Structure 1
Amino acid sequence: MNNNQPLSVDNQIILLMNKGLVIHDSQQVRTFLSNNTYYRLKGYTHTLQDNNVGERLFVNHVCFEDVLDIYNFDIELRSLIFKATERIEIAFRTQLIQQYSMVYGAHWYLDESHFRNQSNYNLFLDDFYNTLQRSTEDFIEPYKMKQGITCWMVPACWISFEIISLGKLSKLFTNLRKSDCKREIAAHFKMKSHFVLENWIYCLSVIRNICAHHGRLWNRTIPMDMEFLKKPCSEPFIMNLNIPSNKIYVYVCAIRYLLDVIEPQNDFKIKLIGLLDRYPSIGLKEMGFPVDWKSEGFWT
């Protein structure tokens, strides 16, 4: 398909058939392509095609249902991860608010002395003030001014942080100087190093953003390497670290670790394994899962 040449849905179907995709029900494919672009579908076909052939023909006997299975699996995976990262975001925000406000007061985040990089802090403040002015939340309205915002009108951190994204909060956390508060937050999540927590929270903000915009997770190389939790800790973690640091497997490991701290009775592991069992044909290698992943004590 010429990237610059639009095709009708019927011609898209013909193109798929010319590439060797077996189509049993043309109406099913027509309905799908009427609600999902051909380009979006392509992202789920790469492992089903012969990439050594210029036309990228489908391997023998691959049918539309095979592609649809991967597509539907990815929808369910996104939903599972999005819900899980929401819980982590709320817990992280709560700890950031609680630990710092109890020591430094409700407006601690307006004190530049807490931050290592002044330029990054100024960028945060500019973005925050813009977000505050644009916010349509009822609880923000009393703090907005037509001619700007003065320092004394800025809400307390437990109000302000409700409108700040996880990505922005993670950058704020990373920019904080070393302190007992920062160490206490890491300790709350059963981590000996706040550096790993900084990395994890930012990585999870990236993947949460992908989920929020309905991006593909399956077979995706995520543009952020997740650091491994190497130091001994009180909670179990995976032992096999010979895995890609930018595929979904290490991300779901981090999610499960944090959820087990936040909500020990959570059902993330059960739902993830159940999802994988419902789609046995889905390639786990493409998501960074090692062959023996189920033998890890972390997953048993």
Structure 2
Amino acid sequence: MMLGYPKPWKSYQEQLDQLIARGMGVTDNARALDYLERIGYYRLSGYWYPFRERVDLCPLDPQTNAKPKKVKVERLPLDEFKPGTTFQNAVDLYVFDKKLRLLVLDALERIEIALRVDISHGLGKHHKFAYLKPELFHESFSSKLDSKTGLTKYHGWLSKHAALINRSKEDFIRHNKDKYGLPLAVWVACEVWDFGTLSTLYDGMTEADQDAISSQYNISNGRIFASWLRSLNYLRNVCAHHSRLWNRNIVDQPKLPPVGQVPSLAAFHNDPQRQARPFMLLCMTQHLMKIINPSSSWGARLKALLENDFPDLTHLDLGLDRMGVDDDWKTRDW
């Protein structure tokens, strides 16, 4: 039997009183209340979560009453905050994260547009309605049935594509429908595909077509590049939905190309902890940006943001290492 949600509704003042009671310093109550009203306790709690005290939790061996050798020690968060924690620390971290998300979205927009061209141009040379030709895709995408739904991944993609076309209010879509009817040529239809639609379609392309696109980005293996696009789509969704990014745990991690193929990723090989943090995805983004627009200042802007806007949280034992930065990130060619 599921238990009911135990936490009661609290007024903004009660929320602030609770934070103060748990050890959070507040120098301007009115300003703190304003932030709680405009941003919300729950959203801000993701930023002060690392400020909470921790206690090591390790089950003892019932036979010896001692710590087992191969058991991982868990750090259980307590309600109380570390000494020196302030409400402003959480706000500053929130503002930094917001700036980071906006900067990342700027790059992902450019990458998404470039991919529309790459994919539509590559498929278009096979057929102007290539996306309606299952024989042009890998059999795992176009023929393999899902055991639960009885459908292929291609069926699911077509449904998403049709929804995007039908929902679109763009003048060029209406013009093409009125003048030429359906279906739309791939180089027209692609303009309404979002990052996820592009990523899924690329994942279903033949290996030869994948390799032809990935090689343009100095990645020889198209399957590796497919994993990049899945992860960058995840990154885009995090940013687009205003979710916390700076220290997020990346569950679906991209594959890395062979050592040396992408020098900026050298530090992440054989380092599972850094692979699970967002900085690796930012380095991948910068790699693609340098190819799409070599004169772009995006990398320099990212470096400046990390150097100048990340708040000083050394008193809470927090730094950019929680993002997964490597030791040489400042000296990299941005």
TM-score with structure 2 setting the length = 0.81
Provide the residue aligned with 1:17 in structure 2: 20
Note the C-alpha offset of 1:264.
0.9
Note the C-alpha offset of 1:229.
2.5
Q: Unaligned regions of 5+ residues in structure 2, if any?
A: 56-75, 143-151, 314-318
Q: Unaligned regions of 5+ residues in structure 1, if any?
A: 146-150
Provide the residue aligned with 2:161 in structure 1: 128
Mapped contact 2:211–2:222 kept (Cα < 8 A): yes
Matches within 5 A, 1:150-189: 153-179=182-208, 181-189=209-217
Provide the residue aligned with 2:130 in structure 1: 108
Which 10-residue stretch deviates more, 105-114 or 54-63?
A: 54-63
1:253 has 2:283 as partner: yes
Mapped contact 2:278–2:323 kept (Cα < 8 A): yes
Partner residue of 1:197 out of 213, 218, 225: 225
Provide the residue aligned with 1:226 in structure 2: 254
Note the C-alpha offset of 1:293.
3.1
Provide the residue aligned with 2:11 in structure 1: 8
Amino acid at match of 2:202: F
Provide the residue aligned with 1:41 in structure 2: 44
Provide the residue aligned with 1:273 in structure 2: 303
Task: Write the deviation string for residues 37-92 of structure 1: whole angstroms up to 9, x where unpaired.
Answer: 10101100122110227642111121111111111110010011011111111111
Distance 1:255 1:169 in 2: 16
The alignment partner of 2:81 has SS state of coil
Note the C-alpha offset of 1:299.
3.9
Number of residue-to-residue matches in the alignment: 289
Mapped contact 1:143–1:154 kept (Cα < 8 A): no
Mapped contact 2:47–2:90 kept (Cα < 8 A): yes
Distance 1:54 1:172 in 2: 42
Mapped contact 2:120–2:186 kept (Cα < 8 A): yes
Amino acid at match of 2:109: E
Distance 1:120 1:267 in 2: 38
Distance 2:23 2:226 in 1: 46
Note the C-alpha offset of 1:178.
2.0
The alignment partner of 2:257 has SS state of coil
Note the C-alpha offset of 1:26.
0.5
1:289 has 2:325 as partner: yes
Mapped contact 2:210–2:223 kept (Cα < 8 A): no
Distance 1:66 1:232 in 2: 39
Provide the residue aligned with 1:213 in structure 2: 241
The alignment partner of 2:166 has SS state of helix
What is the identity percentage for the equivalent residue pairs of Structure 1 and Structure 2?
Answer: 27
C-alpha root-mean-square deviation of aligned residues, in Å? 2.1
Provide the residue aligned with 2:29 in structure 1: 26
Q: Quickly say closer, same or farther: Cα 1:3–1:251, change in 2 above 3 A.
A: farther
The alignment partner of 2:104 has SS state of helix
Note the C-alpha offset of 1:287.
1.1
1:66 has 2:89 as partner: yes
Which 10-residue stretch deviates more, 18-27 or 183-192?
A: 183-192
The alignment partner of 1:57 has SS state of strand
Distance 2:133 2:86 in 1: 60
Mapped contact 2:231–2:254 kept (Cα < 8 A): yes
TM-score with structure 1 setting the length = 0.89
Mapped contact 2:24–2:81 kept (Cα < 8 A): yes
Which 10-residue stretch deviates more, 54-63 or 116-125?
A: 54-63
Q: Quickly say closer, same or farther: Cα 1:4–1:138, change in 2 above 3 A.
A: farther
Mapped contact 1:50–1:59 kept (Cα < 8 A): yes
Distance 2:173 2:251 in 1: 34
